Amino acid sequence: MAWRKHLLAVWLLAAVACSKEKPAPVSAAAPPAEHVSSPVGTNQAVLQKTFALKHSAEFQFEIPAHAVTPHLHGIFESFVGQVHGASDESANIDFLILNEEQHAEFAANRPSEAMFSVEASHNQAINFDLPAAMSQPVKYYLVFRNGDGNKSSKVVEANFRVDF
């Protein structure tokens, strides 16, 4: 009789195991946004560099598709002549964040708005929320500009990241 109880228990376990619900199939009519993963909770280095700045320097970066809340943050410090040289008003530079359209205008030397700008600074912390990227990646540009032109060469230390 005990073997019948064990047989019944095995049969019940098998029945329960076979009746587990399978996940619902993804409908072909579901919008494409429901089929992609978001980069939420990730980050990427945008710029970690020390560079000479005579006129201007541009650094392109890309926000991946479906990034809902990209946030750029970082710091830069500029020096006259060499790294850790004078870092005062004589080391001031301009900093811009441009989208692709604004960058095209900037590259053609046509007046244009910037998404974000800092003028005449030698040490600046940046925190800026970028627009959400929909179904396509979006390119942006960090631009450092020496307002002195040829008067004095500067060196910039920059460290920027984007959180998603």
Q: Are 77 and 123 in contact (CB under 8 A)?
A: yes
Per-residue pLDDT of 94-134, as tens digits, reads 999 999 999 999 999 998 899 999 999 999 999 999 999 98
The whole model's pTM is what?
0.74
Of the listed ranges 1-10, 56-65, 144-153, the least confidently predicted one is 1-10
Domain extents for the chain?
44-163
CATH hierarchy code of domain 44-163: 2.60.120.380
pLDDT for 153 equals: 87
Q: Which of 74, 72, 73, 77 is nearest to 50 (CA)?
A: 77
- Degrees to nearest 5, angle at CA 123 with 118 and 127: 55
Q: How does pLDDT run across 71-98, given as a tens digit for each residue?
A: 999 999 999 988 888 889 999 999 999 9
**Beta bridge partners of residue 113, listed in sequence order:** none
Distance CA 113, CA 106 (A): 9
Using a 10 angstrom Cβ sphere, with 0-12 exposed, 13-18 middle and 19 or more buried, the burial of residue 160 is: buried
